[in-house]
Structure 1
């Protein structure tokens, strides 16, 4: 089974990179084929341009969008790994959703409204942020992150959310705390896939 990892962090030595390495190695240990799409390494162009939407209206999908859509189509699960900045995902990932999860691919319209087109796929999200996890939990931010992705994007497109992990204070904690986070990620990935 193919697993697709969408990675959105600009630094190669970040803790998010360690998370990516952990997820990828755990999946491979379980015998899964793994495809990693590192949006920064790919220099993914995040702006949805008028010519993109005009091309899609005529059935001509821009090549970079079609490439990403093919990876999604061929995968049974998608894992998103990214930091939370300004209470949201990095702009490059938002642009990925804007361009790749397009009408006619990720959803369409029906008599009752939107119809999801990515049913049968599983989704996981792993987020990091600098604020203390307890603080974000107490003010409702963790719930907001989960609603935005698990319901707003996964639910809208038909992807089944299997887990959404949030790790706070990643810029402040020591290596032993980070190792515990990576262990939790490993166990969660093993259990989920």
Structure 2
């Protein structure tokens, strides 16, 4: 026969050690929609680069629109979506990267400094890819070698950055015992603990 739950003097059940941690809302719907829509547009553009020019172009236009929307939302969006909340200087990013190497990096509720730097670089590289891709369709730059080379370089750089991003997400998820992919789906993360940075 199961034992009844222990109670404290006030009569409330004592918290179970295995109870799910308290969660807080971090990523709003705009940020989450942007993230997954950008993933989709990149995958479509990559897969159609040699098979369907029309779909490839429209995926690029979608990516450009998403980047523009995210730039705006970075100034007027919810607290954790704003650049002012998560963008940090090179020295802070370097210190965080060194802390990762030593296994002493802090857990951030929003983007950590390395993740924030990756967000900015990914947005910039995606914007450059979309811009050079569009230039290739114009009369002035159609067939121009350096524009084609710049578009190819940006697209391949984007793929490498995505791989680094996935690695960073996997590492942070492991180190801090939370599923960051799920957090970008639900918008919720574990509430800040005393050593965490909100």
- Do these two structures clear the TM 0.5 threshold for a shared fold by scoring above it? no
Which entry has the higher C-alpha Rg, 1 or 2?
A: 2
More strand by share: 1
TM bin (shorter chain): under 0.3
More helix by share: 2
